[in-house]
């Protein structure tokens, strides 16, 4: 029996390749950068499996070119690049990689929070420039993190991991989410629920951890920024389109908020020029980018593919209904 043919839009890591090699015949994209769209569309024509990154759109256009495709395995927890409904219609299983990147992403939300509060980017630029003349009492004074109020928008696994880290900073933690966890969770994590508007008004730092859905697109808009404290900071490691970037730029320019720490953008890799300011710390979508975590993500994607092709349920299938009909 020939092994099912799979296209991986990245070379992945050796351990992930080992998982795949027993049951699949994988063609890897190993050239630098992301494969051009035409290449992906060409590759999927004959393939039964696709392992992709969040830079590849798995939509009707792609699915039309891929009549034999049975699985699209995203190497990311977020799957807004995948049209799951279109996959379901065509009987293609869609999978993601939840769970393994929570702690690493939470670490990075804190990295941004600390960096913007304590003006690390400006300090680093000064230290490297050769223009640092002397210690001064009011030089690059930032804002304290410890003892402040942290507001978490989206209280899933990553939001909770961010909350857990706040206790070392003696912070008050409040959160908002459409679904409230059990009271024991609130007690254990020492967090209090707030409605969105109350959270906006009370927080010194707001960290966003919601998936990109039709109802969260542009969630942070002008009225939201208007409700925030002028001394507050917005941290976003979720998806860029959860924030209305033009509104954020306007809020920063007019001093409606104090600053932002951003890892994600509306039109990556484009970054709105208005965000390139001293009080914004910018990162290129690397919140999950530790070698340990990225390796695990690749392995999980590989396991999902192998599961499907060996007649098992992929552990992270997003549309299990396709398994029932196949
Ligand atoms: C994801 O997994 O969705 C991240 O954005 C990349 O780790």
* CA 166/CA 203 separation, integer angstroms: 13
Please report the atom of ligand 1 found closest to the CA of residue 78: 3
Please report the atom of ligand 1 found closest to the CA of residue 96: 2
Do residues 88 and 217 both lie within one domain? no
* Catalytic residue flag (residue 285): yes
Do residues 211 and 170 both lie within one domain? yes
* CA 281/CA 228 separation, integer angstroms: 19
pLDDT per residue as tens digits for the range 156-209: 999 999 999 999 999 999 999 999 999 999 999 999 999 999 999 999 999 999
- Mode of pairing for the β-strands spanning 259-262 and 149-153: unpaired
Please report the atom of ligand 1 found closest to the CA of residue 76: 2
* CA 218/CA 206 separation, integer angstroms: 15
Do residues 13 and 109 both lie within one domain? no
Q: What is the CATH number of the domain that holds 54?
A: 3.40.50.720
pLDDT at 28: 98
Please tell me if the CB atom of residue 76 comes closer than 6 angstroms to any atom of ligand 1. yes
Torsion over CA: 202, 243, 51, 66 (sign): positive
Do residues 278 and 308 both lie within one domain? no
pLDDT at 301: 98
Do residues 107 and 230 both lie within one domain? yes
Please tell me if the CB atom of residue 77 comes closer than 6 angstroms to any atom of ligand 1. yes
Do residues 38 and 131 both lie within one domain? no
Domain extent at residue 75: 5-99+291-322
pLDDT at 326: 46
Do residues 76 and 129 both lie within one domain? no
Residues of the chain with pLDDT under 70: 325-326
Mutate to test the pocket of ligand 1, among 94, 105, 158 (most ligand atoms within 8 A of CB): 105
Do residues 122 and 144 both lie within one domain? yes
Instruction: Give the DSSP H/E element, type plus range, for residue 193.
Output: strand 191-193
If you measure from the C-alpha of residue 120 to the centroid of ligand 1, how many angstroms do you get, rounded to a whole number?
Answer: 24
* Catalytic residue flag (residue 64): no
Do residues 156 and 274 both lie within one domain? yes
Please tell me if the CB atom of residue 101 comes closer than 6 angstroms to any atom of ligand 1. yes
* Catalytic residue flag (residue 195): no
If you measure from the C-alpha of residue 295 to the centroid of ligand 1, how many angstroms do you get, rounded to a whole number?
Answer: 13
Ligand 1, atom 7: closest residue by C-alpha? 288
Residues ≥6 apart with Cβ < 8 Å to 306? 19, 20, 22, 23, 24
pLDDT per residue as tens digits for the range 263-283: 999 999 999 999 999 999 999
If you measure from the C-alpha of residue 116 to the centroid of ligand 1, how many angstroms do you get, rounded to a whole number?
Answer: 22
- Mode of pairing for the β-strands spanning 191-193 and 233-236: unpaired
Mutate to test the pocket of ligand 1, among 51, 52, 112, 287 (most ligand atoms within 8 A of CB): 287
Do residues 127 and 228 both lie within one domain? yes
If you measure from the C-alpha of residue 309 to the centroid of ligand 1, how many angstroms do you get, rounded to a whole number?
Answer: 25
Number of domains comprising the chain: 2
pLDDT at 1: 86
Mutate to test the pocket of ligand 1, among 54, 79, 81, 107 (most ligand atoms within 8 A of CB): 54
Do residues 167 and 139 both lie within one domain? yes
Do residues 64 and 184 both lie within one domain? no
């Amino acid at each position: 029996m020939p092994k099912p043919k799979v296209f991986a839009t990245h070379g992945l890591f050796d351990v992930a390749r080992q998982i795949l090699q027993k049951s699949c015949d994988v063609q890897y994209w190993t050239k630098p950068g992301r494969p051009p769209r035409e290449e992906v569309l060409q590759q999927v024509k004959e393939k039964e499996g696709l392992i992709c990154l969040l830079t590849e759109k798995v939509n009707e256009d792609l699915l039309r070119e891929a009549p034999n495709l049975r699985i699209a395995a995203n190497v990311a927890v977020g799957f807004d690049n995948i049209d799951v409904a279109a996959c379901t219609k065509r009987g293609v299983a869609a999978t993601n990689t939840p769970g393994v990147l929570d702690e690493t992403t939470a670490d990075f939300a804190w990295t941004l929070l600390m960096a913007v509060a304590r003006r690390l980017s400006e300090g680093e630029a000064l230290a490297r420039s050769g223009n640092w003349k002397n210690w001064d009492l009011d030089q690059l004074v930032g804002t304290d993190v410890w003892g402040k109020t942290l507001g978490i928008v989206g209280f899933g696994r990553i939001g909770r991991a961010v909350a857990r880290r706040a206790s070392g900073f003696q912070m008050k933690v409040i959160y908002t989410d459409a679904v409230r966890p059990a009271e024991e969770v609130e007690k254990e994590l020492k967090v209090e629920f707030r409605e969105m508007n109350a959270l906006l008004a009370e927080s010194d730092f707001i960290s966003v951890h919601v998936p990109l859905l039709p109802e969260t697109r542009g969630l942070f808009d002008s009225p939201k920024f208007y409700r925030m404290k002028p001394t507050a900071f917005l941290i976003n490691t979720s998806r860029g389109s959860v924030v209305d970037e033009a509104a954020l730029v306007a809020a920063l320019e007019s001093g409606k908020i104090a600053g932002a720490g951003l890892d994600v953008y509306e039109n990556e890799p484009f970054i709105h020029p208005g965000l390139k300011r001293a009080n914004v710390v910018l990162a290129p979508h690397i919140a999950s980018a530790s070698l340990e975590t990225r390796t695990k993500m690749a392995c999980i994607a590989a396991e999902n593919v192998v599961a499907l092709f060996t007649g098992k349920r992929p552990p992270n299938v997003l549309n299990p209904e396709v398994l029932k009909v196949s």
